[in-house]
Amino acid sequence: MKKSLFTLLVLAACSAAYSAGIAIEIDGQFRKIQCTKATGLKFLYPRNGATKPYYLEFRDTTELPLEWTEYTVTFVPDKSGYVTLGLSTSGDTKKGMNDWIEYDKLQLTNAKLNNPSFEFKSVKGDVWAWRYYTKDTAKFDKQDAADGKSYIAVTRNMSCRQGMLVTAGKTVTIKFMARSGGMTPKKAPAGKPFFSDQTAPKAK
């Protein structure tokens, strides 16, 4: 039994050693909302900023720990309306493998978001209000969640997104918990593409 536990700890440490970092995307292109004065982590504006000025990305390539850790980012929108919040990763670190990052307990100031702790299910049993592309993203009924009993897991190519309402000139603060979810082999797509159901759950 001790040997098995030791083996698990070694495997967990190896997973963390190759972990990707956080990536938080703020996309205001549809409503032409520019988000500036960004702070927290290292933030990237696209190099072709002249043609894509309505997008910014907070990214940190630092390897995430296996324990839930709190992070904070801020920005200021120049218009009121919806921007798209994307939860992603800084990229895969090993060929043929997916690096997973797990997110939970989003807390927002001066912005509105549905289901920020991923606790509520849609009519079809997916994470309500969030758009994602693999069933592996939803983690329900987990005892190790940072808040409640649910969280999400994403990779660089399988992110999780939702429209977020912001107000012109007001600093948006996003606090969240994140940790490494380890690595899994990449798989060829099988069957029809998956798209999460976002239908609101029925009121009890």
End-to-end CA distance of the chain, in Å?
45
pLDDT at 42: 83
Highest mean pLDDT among 26-35, 47-56, 100-109 belongs to 100-109
The domain limits of the chain are 2-185
- Residue 63 pLDDT level (bands cut at 50, 70, 90): confident
Residue among 32, 101, 25, 31 nearest 62 (CA) = 101
Residue among 121, 135, 114 nearest 201 (CA) = 121
Residue with tokens 């292109």: 29
Q: Give pTM, 2 decimals.
A: 0.86
Share of the chain above pLDDT 90, in %: 62
Neighbours of 166 (CB within 10 A): 27
Give CA–CA dist 203/18, Å, rounded. 43
Backbone angles phi, psi at 15, to 5 degrees: -60, -45
Share of the chain above pLDDT 70, in %: 85
Q: Is the pLDDT of residue 101 over 60?
A: yes
List, in order, residues 6 or more apart from 29 with CB less than 8 Å away. Answer: 52, 54, 55
